[in-house]
Homo-oligomer: A and B are copies of this chain.
Amino acid sequence: MNDTMDQSRMCSVGLLTTDCYDDLGNFVIQADEAGHDFIVTPISHPTFGRVLNQDKSISEQEQRNWKDRPVFDRKDLVIQSAEWSGRAVGLLATWIQLDSSDPEVRICSELALKQEMDWACHISLSGLIFPALPTGSLFNTARVINSAVKSMSYTQFLVRVPLTDKKDVQGNLSWKQWNRFRTLTEYNTKIHVALEITSELPSDKQLLEMWLAEPIKAVIVPAEIFVENAKGYPVLSKPHQKFIQTLMDKMKPDMIVTLPPTQIHKKATPQSYSDYINYLNRHLPPLNDVDQFATGYQDFLQAPLQPLMDNLENQTYEVFEKDPIKYQQYEKAVYKALLDRVEHGSDYVTTIMVVGAGRGPLVNCCLRAAEKSERKIHVYTDLFDRLQNAKADLWGDKVTLVFADMRKWSPPTKCDILVSELLGSFGDNELSPECLDGAQKFIKEGGISIPANYTAFASPLASTRLNNNVAAYKDLEHYETPYVVMFQQVCELASPKALWSFEHPNTQGDIPADGDPMNNLHNTRYNHVEFTVKHDMIMNGIAGYFESVLYKDVIISIRPKTHSPGMFSWFPIYFPIRTPVQVPKGSTVSLQFWRLTDTKKVWYEWTVTVQGTNGEEMTTLPIHNVGGRSYYVGLTQSLARQKNAASLAKLPNRNEYCESDYAPVSKYNGLQHDNEL
């Protein structure tokens, strides 16, 4: 099992040369013998650069002829045939200057670039690397490449980007150029990054993490950044090791090494550099439980009505129920509550009602807590088929299964403790507030709810992959729908902040002691949170999390800082935004969030603004999901409708749909009031 897994985490390692080999086949064989999986070589000889005619080495007529018919002389080609294409990535000419101030140089550079690209596609090279973005204006470079990659299908296009700019190691100049380029090219999915690791790394961790949100397809590790270890072999510094392993872990890039023109590490052989990279690759930190569980679903948008969800249901059902942490925390919460509420040795039988019991584990938690605390309990719970077996086999008389629809049920007694697990990734997004309002009438005066409260958190997020996954749908609806996502290739611009909380039982007086609330206005929320951002960054969406106090100090959380270790029942939630937003250094990103309701549904609206250091308005996005037009969770009792809606933000195998006994449509009816879609 572990071996298979490691295989799936292995990166190819290639050898890059800037020399032009006459006998490319020989070079491929040598590289192969030294343990490289592929090679990276110039496509054409520097002689081809004469077409720019900057040194007037060819006649105007010759140049004009070439412009009329830009084809290669065979002698200009390094990669002359398709023979090695499958094992070769081509380097585009370094003398190409698409943003030259000389129009003639620009035009000829464009022709030359296209000529090389055409040739690469013709011989089916596996990839192409564009040498460098210009340091100043790059508009024409962006325009030309954006247009030229359109006709590429098999061959991958990569832009070589240094991790840091030599003149700006502690800043992100290099990323900014890349960011400008990809914004101009509108996140063109045919353009990837070949990230070149530089010898100096920025000390600010975020400047490294930003790259994890980028479409990195290859990582170039030049021989020059290796250092010599005590024995004279080339190795990388600890920070380099760590960052490269993170890249391997999250992006599975092709790794590219070089050989120094002259020996720079005493004991280095042609194998040393690739061997070392392979060594790092084999020694990635092992996957934790959550990672293992999430394998294959990273950055995958779990969207409404997605067939995958149904497939997963059977596949991972057993896994979920065995979340080691979630049920452990519930048990601990019930245990502590029993200790607090009932004296040791008392005969008092604590009535516990388990709502949305699903498949039984919550009932087990209660029973275990009772045993451990040596308190007497009786559990009422709603019925699912499988629970009947559990009752017969394990629970006996301590548990009463309620066959009736709980909404219409009159319990023989009210409960001391109401235990529920109706939380979504954003806390309240699976209608826990509404469901618990409905169940509140079953709680005795002074009784408690487990969970006692839950809080939604949000933070601005950068992620090319998530951006593109949403954009691929090409419609408004998908830009205004939250998704459950296991984040991988993302970068948070700042730590999440709390938006709002719900407390249970609700003591705000909005809910009649014995009955249902007439309207759901007490469950609406509105808040905004602000984040001041240290570096120039980009924002593609909003990450959402929850944190819940089950009882006193017993919490469950998926908020990164307080994440319950090993708990894998919830992935984060992702709210897309309709346009990527530039976030200049020092500016303030403000997220506006609403939880809204009408008689039939609950939905979120959100928007983003960016203000400069002087409060100037840099960006304001339109409010997303106006009136729940693209996404909502239904409050009506039609299960079908709820299923579609509620499943939106659910983990694959969870199916405790909230049967809200809730605000019948006729009760809440303003004059001509119509919020319907």
* Interface set of A (CB-CB < 8 Å, partner B): 60, 64, 67-72, 103, 106-107, 111, 114-115, 118-119, 121-122, 137, 139-140, 142-143, 146-147, 150-151, 176, 179-180, 183-186, 509-510, 518-519, 521, 524, 526, 528, 536, 579, 582, 584-585, 587, 592, 594, 605, 607, 609, 612, 616-623, 626-627, 667-675
Closest to A150 in B: B627
Q: Do A671 and B151 form a contact, CB below 8 Å, given A584-B616, A617-B176?
A: no
CB distance from A606 to the nearest CB of B (A): 10
Give Cα A623–Cα B111 distance, bound, in whole angstroms. Answer: 20
Interface pair A618/B620, CB less than 8 Å apart = no
Interface pair A519/B185, CB less than 8 Å apart = no
Contacts of A60 in B (CB 8 A): 509
Residue among A70, A119, A585, A587 having the largest count of chain B Cβ atoms under 10 Å: A70
Interface pair B623/A186, CB less than 8 Å apart = yes
Interface pair A670/B184, CB less than 8 Å apart = no
Give Cα A616–Cα B139 distance, bound, in whole angstroms. Answer: 16
CB distance from A394 to the nearest CB of B (A): 45
Give Cα A620–Cα B584 distance, bound, in whole angstroms. Answer: 12
CB distance from A479 to the nearest CB of B (A): 12
Interface pair A623/B185, CB less than 8 Å apart = yes
Interface pair B72/A671, CB less than 8 Å apart = yes
Can you name 14 extra interface pairs (CB under 8 A) apart from A71-B671, A147-B675, A582-B619?
A: A60-B509, A67-B521, A69-B668, A69-B669, A111-B521, A119-B672, A151-B674, A184-B623, A185-B623, A579-B579, A584-B618, A585-B616, A618-B618, A618-B619
Interface pair A139/B670, CB less than 8 Å apart = no
Contacts of A670 in B (CB 8 A): 69-71, 111, 114-115, 118
Give Cα A559–Cα B617 distance, bound, in whole angstroms. Answer: 31
Closest to A184 in B: B623
Interface pair B672/A186, CB less than 8 Å apart = no
Interface pair B668/A68, CB less than 8 Å apart = yes
Dominant SS among interface residues on chain A: mixed
Closest to A111 in B: B670
Closest to A622 in B: B186
Interface pair A617/B180, CB less than 8 Å apart = yes
Give Cα A607–Cα B181 distance, bound, in whole angstroms. Answer: 12
Partner of A521, one of B71, B107, B528: B107
Contacts of A147 in B (CB 8 A): 626-627, 675
Residue among A150, A594, A627, A672 having the largest count of chain B Cβ atoms under 10 Å: A672
CB distance from A529 to the nearest CB of B (A): 12
Give Cα A186–Cα B623 distance, bound, in whole angstroms. Answer: 7
Contacts of A64 in B (CB 8 A): 510, 518
CB distance from A426 to the nearest CB of B (A): 18
Give Cα A142–Cα B618 distance, bound, in whole angstroms. Answer: 18
Interface pair A623/B146, CB less than 8 Å apart = yes
| 20 A–B pairs (Cβ distance < 8 Å), ordered by A | A69-B669, A70-B670, A70-B673, A71-B671, A114-B670, A119-B671, A139-B592, A143-B605, A147-B626, A150-B627, A151-B674, A176-B617, A180-B620, A184-B620, A184-B623, A536-B616, A536-B617, A582-B617, A582-B620, A585-B616
Contacts of A612 in B (CB 8 A): 584, 612, 616, 618
Contacts of A584 in B (CB 8 A): 612, 616-618
Interface pair A121/B620, CB less than 8 Å apart = no
Interface pair B524/A107, CB less than 8 Å apart = yes
Closest to A592 in B: B139
Interface pair A528/B618, CB less than 8 Å apart = no
Contacts of A137 in B (CB 8 A): 528
Interface pair B526/A140, CB less than 8 Å apart = yes
Contacts of A186 in B (CB 8 A): 622-623
Closest to A510 in B: B64
Interface pair A122/B183, CB less than 8 Å apart = no
Give Cα A510–Cα B107 distance, bound, in whole angstroms. Answer: 13
Closest to A99 in B: B526
Give Cα A21–Cα B672 distance, bound, in whole angstroms. Answer: 25
Give Cα A503–Cα B200 distance, bound, in whole angstroms. Answer: 52
Contacts of A626 in B (CB 8 A): 143, 146-147, 150
Contacts of A150 in B (CB 8 A): 626-627
Give Cα A184–Cα B616 distance, bound, in whole angstroms. Answer: 16
Give Cα A558–Cα B592 distance, bound, in whole angstroms. Answer: 45
Interface pair A143/B623, CB less than 8 Å apart = yes
Nearest 6 A-B pairs (CB), nearest first? Answer: A186-B622, A584-B616, A68-B518, A118-B672, A183-B620, A147-B627
Closest to A68 in B: B518
Q: Do A622 and B70 form a contact, CB below 8 Å, given A118-B671, A121-B672, A673-B114?
A: no
Partner of A526, one of B72, B106, B536: B106
Partner of A115, one of B72, B139, B671: B671
Contacts of A536 in B (CB 8 A): 616-617
CB distance from A648 to the nearest CB of B (A): 20
Interface pair A142/B623, CB less than 8 Å apart = yes
